[in-house]
Amino acid sequence: MLVLGIESTCDETACAIVRDGNEILSNIISSQIDLHSTYGGVVPELACRRHIDVIIPVIDEAVKKAGIELKDIDLIAVAHGPGLIGALLIGLNAAKALALALKKPFVGINHVEAHLYAVLMSHCQVTFPCIGVVVSGGHTALLQIKEIGHYSLIGHTVDDAAGEAFDKVAKLMNLPYPGGPEIERLALNGNAKRFAIKAGKIKTNPFDFSFSGTKTAVLYTVRDLISKAAFSEQDKCDLAASFQAAVLQDIVNKSLLAAQEYGCETIIVGGGVSNNRYLRELFKDLAPKHQIFWPPTGLTMDNAAMIAGLGYHYYLKRGQGDAYDLEALTRMPFLS
């Protein structure tokens, strides 16, 4: 089955052609980083306008690169949430228009769920139930995955998502957007023990995350250093390393606690922050006996291949597509 996937939840316009859930024939991503980097974050109105400009060329390119024609498509899968409302509407309406014109079914996909499905596209042998860890720019969550499409939420962030915290800390250190790779780069030369920066603890649920206080601690440290007229390159590196270690150690600790509590040896990690090498090293060091799986190269950040892949499973399970009144959702529950 040939599935055309569309993803436009935030600042990437993407289209991919995937056969039978995991054979990627093309995976086109038009990034808007150039557009937003000077603002230190995504400007929704600018994002929407760019999506409109590039969505048709991106779809055309994906079809061409896959060596197929539009009429060969069996199903259209589209991320209809969670994300920026205007951005979602562009991808969703493009998908509906294609479905209508080609007389093919379409399915709406939760893009956060697709970040975890991306890991399964690496052809790894994942044993269910397993623990799923979503660490993206908009979401941070721990789940127990019983099978594809069947999840229970164990914990989530009560304030900032992990990637969001990286982006905000980068901004207050005058680093460009997206902040994650910048912080990781500085942290390579930094001393993570120099500043006492900690992740938050949530009394009501030991599996929930809180990074807003972590970010504020960085802000106060920056102010303190600047007031002493000394915010050297080394200070920046040490602060980046201290912040990165606080956030990522917290994620690893809670993931391992969840694995223990739910009796799972396998952990899959998806979303943009899964690019981070320090995170991968931490899991390796702290969980040598667990099986930890990551998305294949090119599928860590927002992409449409994971949407097409997951769409294939949903369509097979339900045996029919969604109705044309399917809505774009800025928030979407992540439960079975």
Whether the link from the prior residue into 288 is cis, omega within 30° of 0, is no
179 lies in the site for ligand KG4, by CB under 6 A: yes
Residues in the site for Zn ion, rule: CB under 5 A? 136, 302
The secondary structure of 198-240, three-state, reads CCCCCCCCCCCECCHHHHHHHHHHHHHHHHCCCCCHHHHHHHH
Q: Which of 273, 282, 299, 310 binds ligand KG4 (CB under 6 A)?
A: 273
Q: Judged by CB, which is closer to ligand KG4: 238, or 302?
A: 302
Q: Judged by CB, which is closer to Zn ion: 104, or 139?
A: 139
181 lies in the site for ligand KG4, by CB under 6 A: yes
Q: Judged by CB, which is closer to ligand KG4: 154, or 251?
A: 251
Binders of ligand KG4 in range 282-301 (CB under 6 A): 301
* Distance set, CA 271 to CA 22, 45, 265 (Å): 18, 24, 20
Binders of ligand KG4 in range 72-101 (CB under 6 A): none
275 binds, among ligand KG4, Zn ion, none (CB under 5 to 8 A by kind): ligand KG4
273 binds, among Zn ion, ligand KG4, none (CB under 5 to 8 A by kind): ligand KG4
Cα–Cα distance measured from residue 223 to residue 267, given in angstroms and rounded to the nearest whole number: 38
Binding span for ligand KG4 by CB under 6 A among 13-21, 42-50, 91-99, 265-273: 265-273
Q: Judged by CB, which is closer to ligand KG4: 98, or 245?
A: 245
Q: Which of 7, 113, 160, 184 binds ligand KG4 (CB under 6 A)?
A: 184
Q: Which of 5, 132, 163, 190 binds ligand KG4 (CB under 6 A)?
A: 163
Cα–Cα distance measured from residue 235 to residue 24, given in angstroms and rounded to the nearest whole number: 43
Q: Judged by CB, which is closer to ligand KG4: 91, or 137?
A: 137
Binders of ligand KG4 in range 122-161 (CB under 6 A): 136-138
| CB crowding 183-205: b at 16 or more within 10 Å, else e | bbebbeebebeebebebbeeeee
**CB under 8 A, 24+ apart: contacts of 263-266:** 264/129, 264/130, 264/131, 264/144, 265/127, 265/130, 265/289, 265/290, 265/291, 266/126, 266/127, 266/130, 266/131, 266/290, 266/291, 266/292, 266/293
For binding to ligand KG4 (CB under 6 A), which residues are involved? 10, 115, 136-138, 163-164, 166-167, 178-181, 184, 271-273, 275-276, 301-302
